[in-house]
Amino acid sequence: MDSFTKAIKRYLEKRFGNSIEDASERQIYQALMVITRDKLAEKRYHYINKLKESEQKRVYYMSMEFLVGKTLRNNLYNLGIESEVKNFLSENGFVLDKIYDIEPDPGLGNGGLGRLASCYMDALTSQEYPITGFSILYEFGIFKQVISNGWQQEFPDNWLDLGKYGLIYRSDEEVEIKFYGETKEQWTSDGLRIKYEDYTPIIAEPYDLMISGYETDAVNVLRLWKSKASGGFNMRLFEQGEYSKSVESKAIAESISKLLYPADDNNKGKELRIKQQYFFTSASLQQIVKMHYKAYNTLDNLAEKVVIHINDTHPSLCIPELMRILMDEYEYSWDKAWEITIKTFAYTNHTIMAEALEKWSVDLFRPILPRIYTIISEINNRFCKWCKDIGASVDLEEMSIIHNDMIRMANLCIVSSYSVNGVSKLHSDILKKDTFKSFNRIYPGKFTNVTNGIAHRRWLGQANPELTKYLNELLEVDFIKDLSSIENLLEYKSDESVINNLENIKKIKKVQLAEYIKKNTGLTVDTNSIFDVQIKRLHEYKRQLLNALHIIYLYKEIKYNALKPYPRTFIFSAKASSGYVMAKNIIKLICSISEIIEMDPEVRKYIKVVFLEDYRVSLAEKIIPAADVSEQISQAGKEASGTGNMKLMLNGALTLGTMDGANVEIYNAVGKDNIFIFGLSSEEVSDLSERGYRSEEFYQNSSVIKETIDFMRTLDNGDSNFNYMADYLVSRDPYMCLADFESYLEQQKLIEKTYQDRIKWGQMSLVNIANSGIFSADRATSEYVKEIWNIKKVK
């Protein structure tokens, strides 16, 4: 530790010519980022040497998204030096929390899928497993959301400006990626060889982010690739006065790593997205293969030493890329290359939403990646032939990788991986029984489940130090090291003083959040009210609209039927994909409700609506510990798992949810008396869909629905979209909000009643915290380690 503080002083002197007394907060921030990074890099050096010596198997985790969250606090916490650094700084007049605030959230992801990848990197590192993450160094991560007059606006997020201090540039490991051009088959004395001509080369520059683990010597790396033109700018054009043309190819090349697509609901921006996907998978594969060859002088044992995990289909071009490298660069035959490939890849599916299952049109794809296209096409030919050979009565319409001139990436992944998993029990069952049922028939045993998990060290240890400290003292077990031991809390279920203490901690977190709300929205919220929270991407299937409809109902009842409900603060935070019009309309609706309530002194005594803009990891860390109610109200069968549900439960919020995704497992863990479940089951949803869902019938047949929607229309003032949304609900309602409305209302009433029984609520909350152990990412990653990857700790 002494050396750490010395290093801070030395850095300030050398870099800025300042002593610590004269340093600015910015300078302290930079010093801490750089010194922490270098300290981790040093640890990494020893760790990697042990790993190399042991020649053990490694995992490479490919993901288009990693939502790492702020790194500085996480690293100091994991290194066990946070409180010393805090004291050292405060002796010198600085507040560590203010320094943390300077760091931007590296927004290299959209939502759950990206955050899951980061939780897993953290958990695996804490358990000393060898994993490397690969992704893109997006210059602009997920956009900054600003709400203006209730509408979402997007602004670029220039996170690298201050975020760059955590990265290490590895100029020695650049690779070249080839796009466009033509491939020619050539017969040589060694047989058939592929020659690639007239291609456009792009350089991938590697930047490494150190991933620290809790109380461990392990340091893993997230490698992020940045695109750069090969050859830079054209001097001849520049000399001819063609200034903008001279840098054109550079601009095109660099566009690849410019922006994270703010869409996790569809596959837009097709061409650039294909380029991004190939760019990072090719760069990563080239590096993996090169390193392996250097270590073993052969690729024959690749599958024994390497697992490449494909996080949803976005990185699926890894598969044909490995085939290409093996055949075109290392002269393997098709059969031998295929044998290695299908033992190397494992694939996780994260969604069954048709619009999110990636498909690329052959016409678009083939010119960009001609060689890769030929390989995919050959994989498909052989797969279809094999199906016929085994005589399986299989449905090639459903299973063929290329169908109607579209390449179906999930099918490619299933055919080419040795393992396919879903992310909750329900989701994995749906994959087997429905979405991929024919595949499940011909590949028995290939499909499996690993229910998601979360990095409790961040989501409890760091986000809620008050609760962590209290539980540490109470339980006398290191539940931060091993979350399963948190179940000891159950012993205190009847201990009123414990219930009171938990309630007091919740209150502290609510006060902190209320201050944030005041500062950022100007709204004053009652910290004695129920904090009812829905925070996640804005999607119709997640049904923020159902939540909004309930608030409109309450408003009507308070205003016209003298209802005096227990006070509630409805807190929303969500980004909508920039092209998703209906999602943006839902944000507008929520903001309009908030405004109307705020103007009405009669109503705002009881209910308030807060929409916090720019949802991101660091904001989630503030909201989650303060939540009383966790809204997990997706249409059953649509949310593959959810992970926010687990984070909220861990912090003592009670779930109000449908039997969807991991809610089902939360229900099983806490029992029916400690959760609020409503709505149609996933089978009932399917049945109703098949029979033909008509929301208008629900509107006509239920007086409460009818009155609420009719009232909603009266709120329209021309600038709001109440009428528009009411029409949408009555005429379409694709995710069946109206079908579930009454049962949702019933559970909301029960919540209100239960909350007022402070002991009962406190006990339910305690039971939730105590049963959250199974949702640790340590548990989830251990399942990957044992069931799928078969790797060992680095000792």
C-alpha distance from residue 702 to each of 14, 81, 746 (Å): 73, 60, 14
Instruction: Specify whether the CB–CB gap between 633 and 744 falls below 8 A.
Output: yes
Phi, psi of 199 (to 5 degrees): -85, 165
Place of tokens 């990848």: 117
What is the closest distance, in whole angstroms, from the C-beta atom of residue 353 to ligand OX2 in the complex?
8
Give 208 or 639: the residue with its C-beta nearer to ligand OX2: 639
What CA–CA distance (Å, rounded) separates 84 from 86? Answer: 5
What is the closest distance, in whole angstroms, from the C-beta atom of residue 67 to ligand OX2 in the complex?
11
Q: Identity (one letter) of the amino acid at 684? A: E
Instruction: Specify whether the CB–CB gap between 372 and 402 falls below 8 A.
Output: no
Give 51 or 454: the residue with its C-beta nearer to ligand OX2: 454
Instruction: Specify whether the CB–CB gap between 470 and 501 falls below 8 A.
Output: yes
Sign of the CA dihedral running 678, 684, 685, 689: negative
What is the closest distance, in whole angstroms, from the C-beta atom of residue 126 to ligand OX2 in the complex?
20
Which residues, including other chains, have CB under 8 Å from residue 346's CB and lie 6 or more apart? 307, 308, 309, 310, 417, 418, 419, 420, 421, 788, 789
> Residue 650, Cβ neighbours under 10 Å: how many?
26
Q: Identity (one letter) of the amino acid at 590? A: I
What is the closest distance, in whole angstroms, from the C-beta atom of residue 423 to ligand OX2 in the complex?
4
Q: Residue 518: which of 410, 622, 407, 365 has the closest Cα?
A: 622
Give 451 or 464: the residue with its C-beta nearer to ligand OX2: 451
What is the closest distance, in whole angstroms, from the C-beta atom of residue 119 to ligand OX2 in the complex?
9
Instruction: Specify whether the CB–CB gap between 220 and 124 falls below 8 A.
Output: yes
What is the closest distance, in whole angstroms, from the C-beta atom of residue 302 to ligand OX2 in the complex?
27
Phi, psi of 429 (to 5 degrees): -65, -40
Give 263 or 327: the residue with its C-beta nearer to ligand OX2: 263
What CA–CA distance (Å, rounded) separates 381 from 379? Answer: 6
Give 263 or 725: the residue with its C-beta nearer to ligand OX2: 263
Give 103 or 540: the residue with its C-beta nearer to ligand OX2: 540
What is the closest distance, in whole angstroms, from the C-beta atom of residue 642 to ligand OX2 in the complex?
5
Give 70 or 638: the residue with its C-beta nearer to ligand OX2: 638
Give 450 or 709: the residue with its C-beta nearer to ligand OX2: 450
Angle value at C-alpha 121, between 117 and 124, nearest 5 degrees: 130
What CA–CA distance (Å, rounded) separates 520 from 523? Answer: 8
What is the closest distance, in whole angstroms, from the C-beta atom of residue 264 to ligand OX2 in the complex?
4
Instruction: Specify whether the CB–CB gap between 194 and 182 falls below 8 A.
Output: no
What CA–CA distance (Å, rounded) separates 619 from 105? Answer: 10
Judged by phi (left if over 0) then psi (alpha if -120 to 50, else beta), residue 629 lies in: beta
Q: 146: which strand partners? A: 153
Give 111 or 652: the residue with its C-beta nearer to ligand OX2: 111
Place of tokens 């979209």: 721
Torsion of CA 40, 45, 50, 51, to 10 degrees: 80
What is the closest distance, in whole angstroms, from the C-beta atom of residue 587 to ligand OX2 in the complex?
19
The residues carrying an active-site annotation are: 350, 536-537, 542, 643, 647
Instruction: Specify whether the CB–CB gap between 446 and 418 falls below 8 A.
Output: yes
Site residues (vs ligand OX2, CB under 6 A): 111-113, 116, 264, 312, 350-351, 356, 423, 452, 639-643, 661
The pair of structure tokens assigned to 475 is: 């339980």
